[in-house]
Chains A and B, each alone.
Chain A
Amino acid sequence: MNYAELHCLSNFTFLRGASHPQELVERAHTLGYSAIAITDECSVAGVVRAHMAAKLLKIKLLIGSEFRLECGLKLVALAIDRRGYAQLCRLISRGRRAAEKGSYSLTRVDVTNAALDSCFVLWIPGNQPAKDEAKWLREQFGARAGCEARIRIAVELFRDGSDKQRLHTLQALGHELKIPLVAAGDVHMHTRDRRRLQDAVTAIRLNIPIAEAGWHLYPNGERYLRERERLARLYPPELLAESVAIAESCTFSLEELRYEYPRELVPDGYTPSTYLRKLVEEGIRWRWPEGAPAGTLATIEKELNLIADLRYEPYFLTVQDIVCYARSQNILCQGRGSAANSLVCYVLGVSSVGPEREAALLFERFQFAHQQLCRDCSVLERGGDPVHLLPIVSDTRPIDHWTAKECSEHALAVFPRQRV
């Protein structure tokens, strides 16, 4: 019997999950699962590691997230395609922004607004399944004209003495509301010997001694990736088959993503490359009014070629845009990071480190950084209030293009964000 695990927390759900995402993927592969979803609570932080492992082992990885709404409703959303992934991430951002760091807050209205029409939604019923929750989810994600129902009831059985009763209740509910059922495992660990770790992190999360944690701990270690034979004894075959069907419908892969920058930075009639070259030429005239030394020009040319090879023009244009804005608002700022050591940044005014500092050598770091899949140039504002830099994020560009992060008390770093 084939099975795909659709509800699985990794240790990126801090102090709940007890296994690394790659461990979960490897174990699912060993057990012969047809797919595994990583559904950390209001986060997709674990999916990159899972993706690397899944790519290596050639097992299908589903991207999703678990949410517990303020009303107590618990659901898992699984991205069907790239659009679904964008909806999912938007919902996560909304929830995280609405609460203190480390927590999130979402209501039914947020879920409605997020649309999630390219996601499967699994309802995780509580101990006493609430019919109104199921009804509400059916209204949101039920079958419509030209669109199949994307809502499922997740049946999660843990040998807690009520398996048959629970299955029966949910079957009756599914039949009444015409919502299909699917098997899921609420997986917290890849093997059952992580139970102790899971108990320990639970006690840490609640900040109580483990001996006093009582019912906050799970009564047994059944929340692991179970063998398919065990599952076949526990679940009716159609529920297991439904999990595989859902996994097959989800086609999204992280491979589809790459960085994209705001296009509106480039005026009409220019490509990012020609526009950057224009700005650089203007910058050369500004830095060296009497004409730049030949060696410097050669370095700049080399750097521009490298930037063109890597297609990083929008990135430099972005940083330059921020710096221009900061200058216009009299906010003291200074680029930093390996890219800021380049002469291009110097002539764009992003950094003030001139060629006499042998900076060109360090620019190679940026190239290396590219290979490590991360961009390393940030704009730092010094000696001022970090909120001063935020307006450029909200005023001149849509906020979703940026992830602004406070580095320290007096600095604000702005990173280009993955655009999805």
Chain B
Amino acid sequence: MASRPLRKSRQAQVLRLPTSLRSVDSRQAPADAPELWVGAHIQSLGSGASLEKLATRAQRFTPRVSLIPPDGLLLEVKGSLHLFNGIDGLLRSFHSDCRMLGIESTTALAPTPLAAQVAARVGEPFVVTNKAQLTGRLTAMPLVPLRWPEDVVQRLARMGVRTIGQALRLPRAGFARRFGPEHLAELDRMTGRNADLRHHFQPRERFRRRRELTYEMESNETILAALAPMLADLGRFLEARQVGITELECRLRHRHAPPSVCVLRLAAPQANVARLTELLGERLNALVLPEPVRSCELRSGLPVLRELSSNPLWQPGEYGGTAAGSESSQLVERLRARLGHEAVYSLQVLQAHRPERAWSMQEPMLANPRGLASPAVNGAARMRGTETPALRGAGTDLPWGSFRRPLWLLPTPQQLEELDGVPRRRGTLRFFGDVERIETGWWDGGEIGRDYYTVFDIYGVQLWIFRERADPHRWFLHGVFG
């Protein structure tokens, strides 16, 4: 085993167990079982404790730790037994770790993970190191800890089969036919007849590096140059784990002033160091330093799995090559780095009749380029996929025949001058199309009752104007078509 823990636990060294507690062969793993698994069944989790925390801590016993949510943990410990003073020593260390985390658990040791897990659920002392003894020790155990579906357990109980031993004695073909081959396979994995492969737990790590500078730095270029090796480290860190980050914090410490912090937030998980350096440079340019910098530190947010994809045959710009999907996301990130996080957003059409409320600002939806669509929508095609959450799943059919909205909507409608009841703006206006009456919004105090018209002014600009139904002689400009 290549990555066996090398340090011997201090606890294990200090602990001296009375000989009576040791099993005969606890000092050495028996030769016949290739694996030995400790199954832990969590009975109660203390506040703040979680299965992941325990798993992270349990990695000091072995790198092969598997989670069985919500309440199980498996450790393959054969290679580590001698480091922890044998089985008893290891189990004691494990229990003391559990106690430190406020976790109550029962453990069992068996040559197969499933047997260890089931025995731990039963809760009685169970230490089997020899595969030949395993089936014999399992026979008396009830079937319930296997957590098979209720109806399967009940049907077996009606047949008088309540223990694992009784189930194992049933004819295999008949058992598979009656109760499903998956349950037979489970019994086989438990007794070691079939292999049982487990996913190993890998804790999520954050990247964190700090560097004391040899001299105080003031210019952004020198700071960025000082950050470069740390960023390169970050790149290797991310590449090794095939993950990306959506948040990166850069902390610059000064002699007196509190540290300057610049936080980079990314729309999509990013692992490209060049991109990160570029974006961090943009952020640093916007930062005003109160004093020279003495040390700098990089901290990443939680890493996120990156979607990996092959490079296209045609590069962007080449014949047949389309623009890379991430281009818009790069643009958004660059704009955000330069102008600030809040300055860049996308617009979304909402299903509402009031023009003022028919759109909203959104986080840029980079997976869906339509998220950048403007509220000026002239056809059904662009409306698809833009629904309010409450209406998701409802029909996306347009509510009425024509749906014509201007690209530019004034923040507040602007009153137009009028002559003999006819609105004017930089000259006479030419009416075009149908009147659209919108009367709605009575439930939240924002009731409107307006007749909207589309008009052309003398320069050929298409405007969206309305008059209040309650006061038909007052005209307002509400939008300009693009």
Contacts and interface: CB of A to CB of B under 8 A. Distances in A.
Contacts of A214: 350-353, 388, 390-391
A162 B400 contact: yes
B434 A199 contact: no
Interface string A101-128: 0000000000000000000000000011
Instruction: Pick the most buried of B351, B390, B434: most chain A CB atoms within 10 A of its CB.
Output: B434
B444 A211 contact: yes
A160 B390 contact: no
B440 A199 contact: yes
A270 interface: no
A199 B390 CA distance: 17
B438 A220 contact: yes
Given A162-B434, A199-B440, A217-B353, A212 B402 contact: no
A221 B439 CA distance: 7
A199 B436 CA distance: 19
A214 B436 CA distance: 17
Interface residues of A, number: 27
A52 to B, nearest CB: 32
Interface residues of B, number: 28
Contact of B390 (A163, A208, A219, A221): A208
Given A199-B442, A214-B353, A219-B440, A159 B435 contact: yes
B434 A215 contact: no
Nearest to A215: B399
Contacts of B440: 199, 217, 219-220
A165 B404 CA distance: 13
Contacts of A199: 440, 442-443
Contacts of B443: 199, 210-211
Max count, chain B CB within 10 A of own CB: residue among A161, A195, A212: A161
B149 interface: no
A159 B353 CA distance: 14
Among A127, A208, A215, A217: residue with most chain B CB under 10 A: A215
B442 to A, nearest CB: 5
A210 B442 CA distance: 10
Contacts of A210: 443
Contacts of A196: 442
B397 interface: yes
A164 B434 contact: yes
Nearest to B438: A219
A222 interface: yes
Contacts of B451: 159
A166 interface: yes
Nearest to B439: A220
A388 interface: no
Contacts of A160: 400-402, 434, 436-437
Contacts of B434: 159-165
B394 interface: yes
Contact of A159 (B350, B352, B437, B444): B437
B435 A161 contact: yes
Contacts of A397: none
B353 A161 contact: no
A216 interface: yes
Contacts of A221: 439
A195 B442 CA distance: 10
Contacts of B442: 195-196, 199
A279 B75 CA distance: 90
A166 B434 CA distance: 11
A212 B388 contact: yes
Contacts of B400: 127, 158, 160-162, 219
A377 to B, nearest CB: 47
Interface in B431-458: 433-440, 442-444, 451-452
B439 A219 contact: yes
Contact of A161 (B350, B351, B404): B404
Interface in A120-148: 127-128
A161 B439 contact: no
Interface string A219-253: 11110000000000000000000000000000000
Contacts of A220: 437-440
Most chain A CB within 10 A, of B353, B391, B400, B452, is at B400
B436 A159 contact: yes
A330 B352 CA distance: 62
Interface in B376-392: 388, 390-391
Contacts of B439: 195, 219-221
B435 A215 contact: no
Interface in B354-412: 388, 390-391, 394, 397-402, 404
A235 to B, nearest CB: 14
Interface in A173-230: 195-196, 199, 208-212, 214-217, 219-222
Contacts of A158: 400, 437
Given A220-B439, A221-B439, A161 B388 contact: no
Interface string B192-229: 00000000000000000000000000000000000000
Given A211-B443, A214-B391, A162 B435 contact: no
A214 B351 CA distance: 5
Contacts of A159: 434-437, 451
Contacts of A212: 388, 390-391
Contacts of A195: 439, 442
Interface in B302-344: none
Interface string B415-444: 000000000000000000111111110111
Contacts of B404: 161
Contacts of B401: 127-128, 160-162, 165-166
A127 B398 contact: yes
Nearest to B450: A220
Contacts of B399: 215, 219
Nearest to A217: B440
A222 B437 contact: yes
B451 to A, nearest CB: 8
A162 B400 CA distance: 8
Contacts of B352: 214-215
B448 to A, nearest CB: 10
Nearest to B447: A196
Contacts of A208: 390
B353 A215 contact: yes
Interface centre among B394, B401, B440, B444 (most CB of A within 10 A): B401
Contacts of B438: 219-220
A209 B402 CA distance: 26
Given A160-B401, A214-B350, A219 B437 contact: yes
Interface in A256-295: none
Contacts of A215: 351-353, 391, 398-399
B472 to A, nearest CB: 14
A33 B148 CA distance: 72
A161 B391 contact: no
A316 B362 CA distance: 72
Contacts of A163: 434-435
B455 to A, nearest CB: 13
B74 to A, nearest CB: 46
A161 B436 contact: yes
Nearest to A200: B443
25 contacts: A127-B397, A127-B398, A127-B401, A159-B437, A160-B437, A161-B404, A161-B435, A161-B436, A162-B402, A162-B434, A164-B433, A199-B442, A211-B444, A214-B351, A215-B351, A215-B352, A215-B353, A216-B391, A216-B394, A219-B437, A219-B440, A220-B437, A220-B439, A221-B439, A222-B437
Given A160-B434, A162-B402, 4 more contacts: A160-B437, A164-B434, A212-B390, A220-B440
Interface of A: 127-128, 158-166, 195-196, 199, 208-212, 214-217, 219-222
- Rank and list the top 6 A-B pairs by shortest CB-CB distance, nearest first: A161-B436, A214-B351, A162-B401, A162-B402, A215-B399, A212-B390
